[in-house]
Chain A
Amino acid sequence: MIPYSPWLSWIIPLVGSFLMPILAKLNQKIRDWTPFLLVTVSSIFTFSMLPDVYNGYSSDITVQWIPSFNLTAGVLVDSLSVFMAGLVSFIGALILLYSIGYMAEEEGLTRYYFFMLLFIGAMIGLVMADNFFQLYIFWEIVGLCSYALIGFWYKRPEAVKAGMKAFIVTRVGDLCFLIGILILYFNSGSLNFLVLKDQLTFGLLGTSLIMSVALLMFGGAIGKSAQVPLFVWLPDAMEGPTTVSALIHAATMVKAGVYLMARITTIFSFSTTYLLVVALVGAVTAFMAATMALATFDLKRVLAYSTISQLGYMFIALGLGSSEGWLASQFHLMSHAFFKALLFLCAGVVIHTLGTRDMRKMGGLRKHMPITFAAFMIGALSLSAIPPFNGFWSKDMILESAYVHGGYFGYLMFFIGAVTAAITFAYTIRMVALVFLGEESEFIKNMSRKLHEPLKVMIIPLVILAFACLFSGFLQSPFASAFSQMVIIRKSVTFMKIEVEPLTYSLLSLLVGGLPAYLIYVKRTVLPQKITEKKVMGFIYKILANGYYFDSFYNFVFVRGTALISSKVRKLQTGILNINMLAFLAGILCLIFLAFQGGVV
């Protein structure tokens, strides 16, 4: 471990972000390359910690922060934090490298790089924090950065709205999280993870207290990780630049919720009710988001729904409550980070060249962009869990741990997971077929520019991520042993050995999902329009395309409701200075009158 690396890994990007306005004055090239270099340095620091934690090193380095409140600032070095920090800095560096090419023609790049660096720095700080308060501060910075970056193109009203939506919807979860932290603090007097763990071992905290705190914190995770019912912000967040979407989905924002849940599962031990809630929310989300992805024509929105669905998988695995499930969720987090970053960056290439996100206008891009197509295929196959790509290993691990868990609960989770895997494969085939296969659309034929492969700085991250997708799936056993300090694997599971039964079922489900999609979208034996023309299918399609009417419901109840109340209260707040001053004068006169009255009496 390089000295001070737990601190430097997040302080470097954070401080660097504030240097951006100065660097932007020097030179455009310096401005574009510095963020990438800074995050690379930070990832060197995080990677230097990997061998130590692999060998079982863990420590909690604290400094005094606010002594009167018994608050310390500190960094916790253990497998979970170092693993997350390494992932974030690695993917962050690749995305920043890609940004140099992707964002080259945009305006306001100083702002962009400032928030990107702040985003990455805050996320690394979040995972390295050793107490809930520090974690919460970084949690909020991450939220702020996501707001600013989703609304990066502030001249487009949809982007501004999407940014605000992301901010407000996640705020609901953040409030739950804050309440949970405060309840915990007032009852235990400390927010440090290890201290809390000790207190729990000695039985100083009641189970009901822990239960409520954990549920409130799960509320925070629901908001951040876009689970049902607070998932509505993530599809809209696609209004931001594609690099931002890649960062939000692969490394930073949505992973914060999963990290939080993984962290508190190592601290608290839970009752089955709580775990049931987590797993059910995850299962419902995984299924609903996957079905919604089937009825979407926006390339990035399909990817967004698939992220929500995959996050649901991680919550299912966490909700199982077993060590295998915990490990599987983290392993899937890593796989998902790689393939989703890859998919988004490839989608970015497509959107960058075509200038549209509508999949109906795409098609036949395979011939024009072979490298992008190959990379996208690798990502898509990983997403749909085809062996031997990494998604297969991690998704299989989740399904397997659900199957091994047994009982109604375990089998139900396994069933939902398998069904979702089928739908995942179906929408992946649909996406690939619409974008890359088939005939060129009119839109592409009429394009004046010639289609071509992107710049080299954009290709390199794609290639690196594609290789990561190919090989990271084989890291199961070192992964499991690195986490042995966090969780005790109850039985000696050798993860390369695969249980035959769940594997058969999950492969069968892939066939069930894949075949119709293949026939409809690749072979084009049946036209998709024909299917939606039928009454029942058309009805289902309408529900899916409208996202189960969650958006309309929120719009009607909360947005319109707030607007209605505000318009009634508006008369008190006219915003006209003259009227305010008159009211002020009246107030002064009343005060003087009262004063003289007091003098007389």
Chain B
Amino acid sequence: MLSNFEKGKGREKMNTLDYYVAFSIALYVIGIYCLATKRNMIRIVLGIEILINAANVNFIAFSAYRAEGFIDPFAHSVVIISIALAGCVSAVALALVVYAYKHYGTLDIRKLRRLRG
């Protein structure tokens, strides 16, 4: 995939982009792992945050390598908005967590499976 994207570019730059992308994939895998194995709701919220950050890092990294000597400001602005939105998401999610804990007395998602008012 990457070789297609950076066709004709210098070998040197490719390497640095690889690091960033590898880091982002690592973050992504950590996030998925978190969602796939954890049962505590707070941990799941953290997992979602990690996933969003993985995407953000990926965005920034690619923006710097779009053209020679040019960093795309558009990607940065999008990422800033994305960070703000992630903050909102986590705020709402944590509020839900608090209420769920008050209502059920547990944070184990397997025990919260009954959708009752």
A571–B117 CA distance with the chains assembled, in angstroms? 24
A584–B31 CA distance with the chains assembled, in angstroms? 12
B39 and A584 within 8 A (CB): no
Q: B110 in the interface, Cβ–Cβ < 8 Å?
A: yes
Contacts of A584 in B (CB 8 A): 32
Q: Say which residue of B4, B44, B117 sits within 8 Å of A577 (CB atoms).
A: B44
A575–B35 CA distance with the chains assembled, in angstroms? 14
A575–B110 CA distance with the chains assembled, in angstroms? 9
Q: Which residue from chain A places its CB closest to the CB of B34 in the assembled complex?
A: A581
Contacts of B1 in A (CB 8 A): 595-596, 599
Q: B95 in the interface, Cβ–Cβ < 8 Å?
A: no
A581 and B113 within 8 A (CB): no
Interface string of B37-76 (1 = CB under 8 A from A): 1110000100000000000000000000000000000000
A581–B35 CA distance with the chains assembled, in angstroms? 6
Q: Is the interface of B mostly helix, strand, loop or mixed?
A: helix
Q: Say which residue of A154, A585, A595 sits within 8 Å of B32 (CB atoms).
A: A585
A582–B117 CA distance with the chains assembled, in angstroms? 29
A585–B44 CA distance with the chains assembled, in angstroms? 16
Q: A446 in the interface, Cβ–Cβ < 8 Å?
A: no
Classify chain A: how many residues form its interface, as a range.
Answer: 10 to 19
Q: Say which residue of A575, A582, A595, A599 sits within 8 Å of B113 (CB atoms).
A: A575
- Count residues on chain B whose CB falls below 8 Å from chain A CBs: 13
B39 and A578 within 8 A (CB): yes
Contacts of B39 in A (CB 8 A): 578
Q: Which residue from chain B places its CB closest to the CB of A154 in the assembled complex?
A: B117
Contacts of A63 in B (CB 8 A): none
Q: B81 in the interface, Cβ–Cβ < 8 Å?
A: no
**Chain A nearest CB: distance from B44 CB in Å?**
7
Residue pairs across A and B with CB atoms within 8 Å: the count is 24
A576 and B113 within 8 A (CB): yes
Q: Say which residue of B4, B36, B117 sits within 8 Å of A578 (CB atoms).
A: B36
Interface string of A561-597 (1 = CB under 8 A from B): 0000000000000011110011011000000000110
A463–B51 CA distance with the chains assembled, in angstroms? 68
Given A595-B1, A599-B1, A599-B4, A578:B113 Cβ within 8 A: no
A575–B111 CA distance with the chains assembled, in angstroms? 11
A164–B105 CA distance with the chains assembled, in angstroms? 29
A599–B3 CA distance with the chains assembled, in angstroms? 10
A391–B75 CA distance with the chains assembled, in angstroms? 75
> Which residues, 65 to 117 on B, are CB-close (under 8 Å) to A?
109-110, 113, 117
Contacts of B109 in A (CB 8 A): 576-577
Contacts of A599 in B (CB 8 A): 1, 4
Contacts of B37 in A (CB 8 A): 578
Contacts of B44 in A (CB 8 A): 577
A576 and B36 within 8 A (CB): no
Contacts of B117 in A (CB 8 A): 154
Q: Say which residue of B4, B36, B110 sits within 8 Å of A581 (CB atoms).
A: B36
Interface string of A483-512 (1 = CB under 8 A from B): 000000000000000000000000000000
Interface string of B5-38 (1 = CB under 8 A from A): 0000000000000000000000000001001111
Contacts of A595 in B (CB 8 A): 1
Interface string of A59-100 (1 = CB under 8 A from B): 000000000000000000000000000000000000000000
List 24 contacting pairs A-B, 8 Å CB cutoff, sorted by A. A154-B117, A575-B113, A576-B109, A576-B110, A576-B113, A577-B35, A577-B44, A577-B109, A578-B35, A578-B36, A578-B37, A578-B38, A578-B39, A581-B32, A581-B35, A581-B36, A582-B36, A584-B32, A585-B32, A585-B36, A595-B1, A596-B1, A599-B1, A599-B4
Listed from nearest, the 7 A-B pairs whose CB atoms lie closest are A581-B36, A581-B35, A582-B36, A575-B113, A578-B36, A585-B32, A577-B109
Known: A578-B36, A596-B1. 10 other contacts (CB 8 A): A154-B117, A577-B35, A577-B44, A577-B109, A578-B35, A578-B38, A581-B36, A585-B36, A595-B1, A599-B1
Interface residues of A, Cβ cutoff 8 Å to B: 154, 575-578, 581-582, 584-585, 595-596, 599
Interface residues of B, Cβ cutoff 8 Å to A: 1, 4, 32, 35-39, 44, 109-110, 113, 117
